[in-house]
Every structure is written in C-alpha cells, then in structure tokens.
Amino acid sequence: MKFHLDKKVEKCGFGLSEYSAIGSTNSEALNQAKNNHSGNHWFVTKNQTAGRGRLARVWQWHQGNLAASLLLRLNVAPDKLSTIAFVAALAIYYALLEAGTDAKISLKWPNDILANGKKICGILLEAHQTKSGEQALVIGFGVNIVAAPKDLPYGATCLQDIGSNMNAKQLFKLLSKHWLEAYKIWNEGEGLSEILKQWKKAASGIGEPVVISNHGKVVEGIFEDVDNIGRLLVKTSNGQLEYISSGDVHFGTAASIKEL
C-alpha cells in the first residue's frame, strides 16, 4: 500500500514523491527547491534515517511513524511567510482529531502538537530564496504513530499509546486534505486572522505560567495571547508585555528555568 494524497489535493495540482528510505524529507524538498522544482509538492518516506528538528536537533525516527514534507513556492513578505507555521499546525491538528481517540489534542506554540499534554508531532519550517526571488518554503511534519522517543526532557506519546489504530498512510492522506483547507483560508496571509482564531481555540497554555528560553535569554510570565502576526505575548511579573518570535516554551512555574 502506497501513500496517497486526498483526491481534492491532487485536483489542485499538488504532487507527491514517495521514498522507501531517505535521509530527510525536508532535505530532499530543499534540494529540489534549489534545483528549481516548481513547488506544491509533497515528499514522504517509509524510513527516515537523518531527520531534523528545530534548532538543528535530531528527530528520532521509528519505523511506522510519519515523516512528510511539503514544498511551496511563494512570493509573499517574510512576516507573512512565517505565519504558515499556524496553517501547518491546524492541518495536522484537524487530521489527528480524526484518528479515533479520546485523547485531548492541542497546539503548543510555536510548532508542536500535543496529545494529553505530551508531544506527538513536531513541525519544521525551512526557507530558501530562489534565483528568481521567490521564496521556496519547506514544511516538515514528524508524527509519532507507533512509537515515541523515551529519553527526552519532555513527555512524548504516539497514536498507538492513545488508542488509535490509524497508520501513517491514513494520517498522511488526512493531513494533505486539511492542509489544503487551511491553506485556502490563509490565502497568502490575507486570512491569517481566521487561522489564528482557530489556532487559539486549540492552543495549550493560554493564561498559564510559561518560561521561554531563546539563545540564553529567559523570559518568564503568563502566556497572555498570540498577537495578529503570531508572536507569543507574555506578561512578566512587572506587568510588562514581552513579544516572543521564537524560542523553547515550557509551561509551569519558575522552577522550570533550571531545566532549560
């Protein structure tokens, strides 16, 4: 049985390349972008041998999990380009809601999806500017289907652990469908307000204590909101609002700082 796109996605011109084994679907998509691939193309593999996470971290792989990347060619402003992370998060969120489990699925800023508070999916965005001036954007999805890493500083889970029998091929088809739906709403950034509205309804941690670490700087406070361009708003103990564009997010009290 091979991977398949949703039929509506195929009709919209999205392509698909499947590999029995590959180092990284994101790396392959970036290589294709550098070789002037036209974009709107999915890359998926049955076996990923050199997956990557955010901040150059290794993405641990297990046979049967899902590794997929989408290559897009866009001509939008950089601030709008980065907001596609919220489109990606909603796409996999809605796909996981169809996985046949009672687990609570939620979104953790900026690029994680949680099931019962444990990480089940990570998203990695990487950009490359083409010679023509267009932006080639690659969105990578790593979803724990049959197994989750055990030796992590945070909790992780997989679909099997939360009672779902859905396999990687079934989830991928749903992901492609929900990506297209959310991408149409986003509409080159014009529909961002609706995307953020939906994202916040599914978000974890709003109104709770949070600690963010970014390149040695630690910000602690209350997760107040996400602003109209997707930045995390944190109210610190002195009442000031900090606007966070990137970083590692930890929910909990100040004691969490020791773990960063």
Residue 213 and residue 197 in one domain: no
Burial class (CB in 10 A: 0-12, 13-18, 19+), 193: exposed
228 shares a domain with 131: no
CA distance 93 to 15: 22
Q: Would the pLDDT of 133 be above 80?
A: no
> Among 204, 188, 196, 244, which residue's Cα sits nearest to residue 221?
244
The answer to whether 172 and 67 are in contact (CB under 8 A) is no
pTM for the model stands at 0.92
Which of 201, 224, 251 terminates a domain? The answer is 201
Q: So what's the pLDDT on residue 53?
A: 54
Domain count, the chain: 2
Rounded to the nearest 5 degrees, what angle is found at the Cα of 97, between the Cα atoms of 228 and 62? Answer: 100
Residue 47 has pLDDT above 50, yes or no: yes
Instruction: Find the CATH number of the domain harbouring 235.
Output: 2.30.30.100
Host domain of residue 214? 209-259
**257: pLDDT strictly greater than 60:** no
State residue 23 phi and psi, 5-degree precision. Answer: -65, -55
Mean pLDDT for 184-202 is: 97
Is-contact 44 172, C-beta < 8 A?
yes
Note the pLDDT of residue 3: 97
Mean pLDDT, all residues of the chain:
90
